[in-house]
């Protein structure tokens, strides 16, 4: 098979695409893949490093501001889109894909639109419960639409939709882990809470977690607080200013490079409600306390989180309600009640799709035929 993939801007669009590519190559060692992104996006660093053919086109998103700057930006956006479609057509003609898959981000708009106009089978994958602008636009032109949240179905032309889950889930579910908490100088037989606001860290989660450390120090469970690489020094300064020290059961680290190996050993997690995170949490069956980012488009993280909360698979704290007291109360209720954690983990696992990459690949293969 010759597969073209386009998606970019954030890891939430890129990693599901890479999971699909990995699954394709596992099933077909002769498969050829071309990834189309932008030079500015995160994909320009991640994809070439994986040895995947990478092509770029220049696009930008629309401005939501209706002032003069916003209007001129949007005129330029339309111009770049039309040029991007022409550039995408050339890349498509050169590569000759059997099928083209879009995983979101404005770069995929030109690529999938061009492919659909050229009569090439097309598919988009929507990771979130609230459909993004790009995928909503493309839904009119593509052949199939794969979704990871059932809530997204009603926002698309129903006859095109198929539920596959997020392919990133399969990578995590199949990961064999020999990880031991002793590598962090913690105990392997004590329940461990992971606080993780994303690879960049989250300011409010970090600030509240720092204030909660004196209480965490007294608890019978363990806490690993991941600050994000860029915010580690700030957290250290906050702790120093407040004269906060760490007990043996609490660790503060900037980053965890082997997160897929660590997650199976986590009793519960506090974190954001991005699509990739929730795919991993549900695939593994981990109890969670979700703090949706209020800074994302259409507040989609809150809706992602509520999909789990409504099934008894997670607790939610809005960022507006987040404080050291609300965090400690919610964490204590979960970490000191093994039965509650077990029920929540089982509900999460029930929502998970551990073979999501295979399911998505099946749809892609059928389209290619």
Q: Annotated binding residues for UDP-N-acetyl-alpha-D-glucosamine, as ranges?
A: 10-12, 128, 199, 256, 301
What is the 3-state composition of the chain as percent helix, strand, coil, each rounded to the nearest 5?
Answer: 50, 15, 35
Q: What is the C-alpha to C-alpha distance for residues 369 and 281, in angstroms, rounded to an integer?
A: 34
- Identify the residue whose tokens are 């089982």: 346
Cβ(121)–Cβ(4) under 8 Å? no
| Residue from 299, 322, 302, 318 nearest 310 by CA | 302
**Residue 65 Cα distances to 72, 105, 132, 206, 301, angstroms:** 10, 19, 18, 30, 22
Give me 168's structure tokens: 């990133």
Q: How far is CA 165 from the centre of its chain?
A: 12
Q: Which residue's entry shows tokens 């915010």?
A: 231
Annotated binding site: 10-12, 128, 199, 256, 301
Give whole-number Cα distances, 138 to 3, 123, 160, in Å. Answer: 18, 9, 12
| Residue 196 DSSP code | E
Tokens for 148, please give them.
Answer: 């990871």
């Amino acid at each position: 098979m010759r597969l073209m993939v386009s998606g970019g801007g954030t890891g939430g669009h890129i990693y599901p695409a890479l999971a699909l590519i990995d699954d394709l190559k596992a099933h077909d060692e002769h498969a050829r893949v071309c990834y189309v992104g932008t030079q500015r996006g995160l994909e320009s660093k991640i994809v070439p490093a994986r040895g995947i053919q990478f092509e770029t086109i220049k696009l930008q998103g629309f401005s939501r501001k209706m002032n003069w700057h916003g209007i001129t930006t949007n005129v330029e956006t339309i111009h770049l889109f039309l040029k991007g479609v022409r550039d995408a057509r050339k890349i498509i003609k050169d590569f000759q894909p059997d099928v083209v898959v879009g995983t979101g981000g404005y770069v995929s708009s030109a690529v999938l639109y061009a492919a659909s106009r050229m009569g090439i089978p097309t598919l988009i994958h929507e990771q979130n419960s609230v459909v993004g602008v790009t995928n909503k636009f493309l839904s009119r032109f593509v052949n199939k639409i794969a979704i990871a949240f059932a809530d997204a179905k009603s926002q698309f032309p129903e006859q095109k939709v198929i539920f596959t889950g997020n392919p990133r889930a399969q990578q995590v579910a199949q990961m064999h882990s020999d990880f031991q908490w002793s590598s962090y100088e913690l105990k392997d037989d004590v329940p461990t809470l992971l606080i993780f606001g994303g690879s960049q860290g989250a300011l409010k989660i970090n600030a509240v977690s720092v204030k909660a450390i004196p209480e965490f120090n007294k608890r019978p469970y363990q806490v690993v607080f991941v600050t994000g690489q860029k915010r580690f020094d700030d957290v250290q300064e906050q702790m120093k200013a407040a004269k906060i020290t760490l007990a043996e059961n609490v660790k503060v680290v900037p980053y965890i490079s082997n997160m897929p190996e660590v997650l199976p050993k986590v009793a519960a997690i506090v974190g954001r409600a991005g699509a990739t995170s929730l795919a991993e949490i549900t695939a593994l069956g981990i109890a969670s306390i979700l703090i949706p980012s209020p800074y994302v488009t259409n507040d989609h993280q809150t809706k992602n989180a509520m999909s789990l909360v409504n099934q008894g698979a997670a607790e939610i704290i809005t960022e507006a309600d987040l404080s050291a007291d609300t965090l400690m109360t919610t964490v204590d209720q979960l970490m000191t009640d093994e039965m509650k954690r077990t029920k929540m983990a089982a509900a999460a696992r029930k929502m998970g799709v551990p073979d999501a990459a295979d399911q998505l690949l099946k749809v892609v293969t059928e389209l290619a035929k």
